[in-house]
Amino acid sequence: MRLLGVDRNTLETVLRSWGPGKFDAEIFFDGKAFNTQQVTDGVVTSHKVSGATLIPNAFGLAGFNQHTWTGAWGTVTYWNALVANLEMHGKGRFFDPRLNDAEKFPIAAANGFADLPHISPDDDQITSKLPALHFYQLAIPAPTPRAGRDFDPAAAKRGDDLFSGKAKCNNCHVDPLWTEPGWNLHKPEEVGVDAFEANRAPDGQYKTMNLAGIFVREEGLFMRAANKGRYYHDGRFATLLDVVNHYDTLMHLGLTSGEKQDVIQYLRSLPEH
């Protein structure tokens, strides 16, 4: 409460607004609790939603750049250091001069988050753990979908051709990383959504999400029913069909209903690599 400058009731209201499976890792940087106007394909879809984002998957993270919803924060090991030091209040070192931007990150700048005290290595209980933790996280495989149970093999085969052809998915979700090799970030207008969450990041962009194991979320496996489906950073799309419909509209793809279902079956079939 002291850090955010709010009373207990306000803090509890914000926390309750997050919903299942969501967390706001940036609220203690900028204090922005709500997106006041959610927009998709130029249409206002909601006038106020929580600034919290869905917790991204923890598997299939090897081989590509940025690892969270928004651009240029850093990869997995950056967030390991940030979370351990700034969110869990461990004893270590953290450095990110971008957090000195008082206009963009007023709370972080006011509290010296950009450069934590320079302590002795003997007292640092975090930094030495980062390499092994990073290695472990990159080694977690995505769940493998089973033909005939998690996807229709014949439809997935047709969807494979569409994915790299008419549907243009492979332009960004490059097989077999399912995101771009290299700079995997895009401006909000490129993905057809509002800039609220992107503008909370250093460079105002969104990441092309990797798709390995996406059938897990679509089916709601290993999770509470309330966490089933929900795609994009804030879960604005309830199902994969909603996502496919969004890109069909945004990119004027002209997909038929059958082609959309084939693409979905292919998405459900994706292995890690």
Determine what percent of the chain is predicted with pLDDT higher than 70: 99
The span from the CA of 77 to the CA of 132, in Å, is 10
**pLDDT at res. 224:** 84
**pLDDT at res. 273:** 55
Indicate the range of 22-31, 158-167, 186-195, 218-227 predicted with least confidence.
218-227
The span from the CA of 215 to the CA of 178, in Å, is 14
Locate 76 and state its tokens. 């997995």
Mean pLDDT of 132-152: 94
The span from the CA of 150 to the CA of 145, in Å, is 6
Average pLDDT, the chain: 94
Determine what percent of the chain is predicted with pLDDT higher than 90: 88
Higher pLDDT, 260 or 61: 260
pTM: 0.93
**pLDDT at res. 223:** 84
**pLDDT at res. 180:** 96
Q: Class of 143-268 per CATH?
A: mainly alpha
| Annotated domain spans of the chain | 143-268
pLDDT in tens, 215-265: 999 998 888 888 889 999 999 999 999 999 999 999 999 999 999 999 999
Mean pLDDT of 27-40: 96
pLDDT band at residue 16 under the 50/70/90 scheme: very high
The span from the CA of 269 to the CA of 125, in Å, is 41
Question: 17 vs 70, 84, 179, CA distance in Å?
Answer: 21, 24, 30
**pLDDT at res. 3:** 84
HEC readout, the chain = CCCCCCCHHHHHHHHHHCCCCEECCCHHHHCCCEECCEEECCEEEECCEECCEECCCCCCCCCCCCCCCECCCCCHHHHHHHHHHHHCCCCCCCECHHHHCCCCCHHHHHCCCCECCCCCCCCCCCHHHHHHHHHHHHCCCCCCCCECCCECHHHHHHHHHHHCCCCCHHHCCCCCCCCCCCCCEECHHHHCECCCCHHHCCCCCEECCCCCCHHHHHHCCCCCHHHCCCECCCCCECCHHHHHHHHHHHCCCCCCHHHHHHHHHHHHCCCCC
Neighbours of 42 (CB within 10 A): 11
Q: Residue 272: is its pLDDT beyond 70?
A: no
